[in-house]
């Protein structure tokens, strides 16, 4: 099992976190709301994460593995404060760059260049912070002259290239990554993975959700296996994957 660490070595601390969502079983709920029959809708609480706790050390690359619906992406969104827990606490020690919903802050009427400044502001960066690195961002994206055209004209692959290029160049200490390396052509996927390995070598802390076993093996030091909203195994990546593959086949 993962060893305990001193508090100053911890980048992410999750303590007794529970997250639930309301599920409406009556599909006509919204229509009934309009006509005043609120009492007839059926709803239930679906607990996605159950009393989850873990500490992630600075510089670790940690994979979250599990079947679809196990709670992996929910945990990642909690870490990024996209959503919040019903119970428990999450402490983040360091600047976070999110690769969960890439380009979520883009204005599609702005050019790619304008969106670099616009999106970077979500990371707390101003123009003076972006000016020295904007050429690096544009070069990594490989968008060429398209950087001067509105983002609404971009393909999904171009959109992802720009968003990823911003996310990996904002000098964050903690990166949260959700399946984004599965998007785009093979060339850019390889380029992204190499960039992630470079950031890992620089000592960045990473939390990584992926169904690609080979990527997880080559990239992550540690893995948390989440099943039905609970961490059932937390150990070195190879050990966790071996057990996971035995069960899942």
Q: How far apart are CA 246 and CA 244, in angstroms?
A: 5
Indicate if the alpha-carbon torsion angle 103, 142, 168, 67 is positive or negative: positive
Report field, pTM of the whole predicted structure over 0.85: no
The CB density around residue 197, as the number of other CB atoms within 10 Å, is 13
Query: Which candidate, 51, 63, 56, places its Cα nearest to that of 3?
Result: 56
pLDDT for residue 213 is more than 80: yes
Greater model confidence, 213 or 34: 213
Greater model confidence, 122 or 159: 159
Residues 32-62: tens digit of each pLDDT: 555 555 555 677 888 999 999 999 999 999 9
pLDDT for residue 235 is more than 90: yes
| Residue carrying the six token digits 């005043």 | 36
Q: How far apart are CA 41 and CA 2, in angstroms?
A: 45
Residues 165-192: tens digit of each pLDDT: 998 898 899 999 887 666 567 888 888 8
Q: How far apart are CA 8 and CA 28, in angstroms?
A: 51
Residues 70-81: tens digit of each pLDDT: 999 999 999 989
Structure tokens belonging to residue 119? 């999106």
Q: How far apart are CA 233 and CA 72, in angstroms?
A: 13
Greater model confidence, 41 or 152: 152
Structural domains for the chain: 1-37+44-94+219-249 (3.40.50.300)
């Amino acid at each position: 099992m993962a060893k305990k660490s001193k508090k100053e070595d911890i980048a992410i601390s999750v303590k007794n976190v529970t997250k639930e969502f309301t599920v409406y079983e009556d599909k006509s709920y919204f229509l009934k709301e309009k006509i005043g029959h609120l009492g007839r809708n059926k709803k239930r609480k679906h607990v996605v994460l159950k009393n989850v706790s873990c500490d992630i050390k600075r510089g670790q690359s940690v994979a979250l593995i599990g079947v679809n619906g196990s709670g992996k992406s929910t945990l990642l969104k909690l870490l990024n404060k996209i959503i919040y827990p019903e119970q428990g606490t999450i402490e983040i020690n360091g600047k976070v760059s999110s690769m969960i919903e890439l380009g979520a802050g883009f204005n599609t009427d702005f050019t790619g260049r304008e969106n670099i400044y616009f999106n970077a502001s979500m990371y707390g960066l101003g123009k003076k912070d972006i000016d020295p690195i904007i050429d690096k961002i544009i070069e990594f994206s490989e968008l060429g002259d398209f950087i001067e055209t509105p983002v609404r004209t971009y393909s999904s692959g171009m959109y992802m290239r720009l968003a990823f290029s911003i996310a990996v160049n904002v000098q964050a200490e903690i990166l949260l990554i959700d399946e984004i390396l599965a998007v785009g052509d093979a060339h850019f996927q390889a380029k992204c993975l190499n960039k992630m390995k470079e950031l890992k070598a620089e000592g960045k802390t990473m939390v990584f959700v992926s169904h690609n076993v080979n990527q997880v093996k080559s990239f992550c030091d540690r893995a948390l296996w989440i099943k039905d909203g609970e961490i059932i195994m937390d150990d070195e990546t190879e050990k966790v994957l071996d057990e996971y593959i035995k069960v899942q086949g």
